[in-house]
Amino acid sequence: MKKIAGVSLYFLTEAEGGQKGLITEDFSTPVVFDVDQDLRFGLWSVVVKLHCKPSELRQAQGELYYLFHDSTEVPHHLLEPGNTFSLKTNRTIAKGRIESIIEK
């Protein structure tokens, strides 16, 4: 079963430490949850599927799930409504919040 989180995202501006250009298509990147800053459960990559391109305010809605969602080691318990997270590359590119959960 795949656990999918409905998320709200804010893409940081370059001045805030983010990227100059906005991501406008689905992507995969590492995630760090605010409740697991020290990465006790490891550093995992997620897939982000955007419902639409980010707004002028750099906000977007989408779905998020672990890239290797079938692995028994994946910390699915971190995908809970209300949990906040950062999407990373060599910098923080976006911050987000889990709004809902869907299981497929």
b or e along 82-102 (b: 16 or more beta carbons within 10 Å of the residue's beta carbon)?
Answer: ebebbbeeeebbbbbbbeeee
pLDDT digits (tens, 9 = 90+) for 32-81: 999 999 999 999 999 999 999 999 999 999 999 999 998 999 999 999 99
Quick one: DSSP state of residue 27? Answer: E
Closest among 41, 100, 91 to 65, alpha carbons compared: 100
| pTM for the structure as a whole | 0.92
Do 68 and 37 form a contact (C-beta atoms < 8 A)?
no
Residue 21, pLDDT score: 86
Residue 48, pLDDT score: 97
pLDDT digits (tens, 9 = 90+) for 83-101: 999 999 989 999 999 999 9
Phi, psi values for residue 19, rounded to 5°:
-90, 155
pLDDT digits (tens, 9 = 90+) for 1-38: 789 999 999 999 999 999 888 899 999 999 999 999 99
Residue 103 pLDDT more than 80?
no
Residue 1, pLDDT score: 73
